[in-house]
């Protein structure tokens, strides 16, 4: 088995995983993030993107070759 992190993946795979991570974060914390962004006058999309990137580093990528 080969263990990789997010930085070891190609750009296309990174973009796909980022979109999956955004959906995951939005489903789990969307309402809380919207409320936080509104209270602190932040851009919701930028905040979502930042949290999605943080979420990516919690994943483990395992490939069987």
Q: Domain of 6?
A: 2-63
Closest CA to 50 of 62, 36, 64: 36
The model carries a pTM of: 0.75
pLDDT, position 26: 94
For 6-63, how does the pLDDT look when each residue is reduced to its tens digit (9 = 90+)? Answer: 666 778 888 888 898 999 999 999 999 999 999 999 999 999 999 999 988 777 666 6
Confidence at residue 61, expressed as pLDDT on a 0 to 100 scale: 65
pLDDT reported for residue 34 = 95
Task: Using alpha carbons, list the distances in angstroms from residue 31 to 6, 15, 47.
Answer: 27, 24, 12
Half-sphere exposure of residue 63: CA atoms within 13 angstroms, side-chain side: 8
């Amino acid at each position: 088995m080969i263990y990789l992190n997010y930085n070891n993946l190609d750009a296309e795979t990174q973009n796909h995983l980022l979109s999956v991570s955004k959906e995951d974060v939005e489903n789990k914390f969307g309402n809380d993030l919207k409320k936080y962004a509104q209270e602190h006058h932040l851009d919701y999309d930028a905040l979502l993107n930042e949290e999605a990137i943080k979420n990516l580093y919690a994943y483990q990528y395992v490939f069987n070759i």
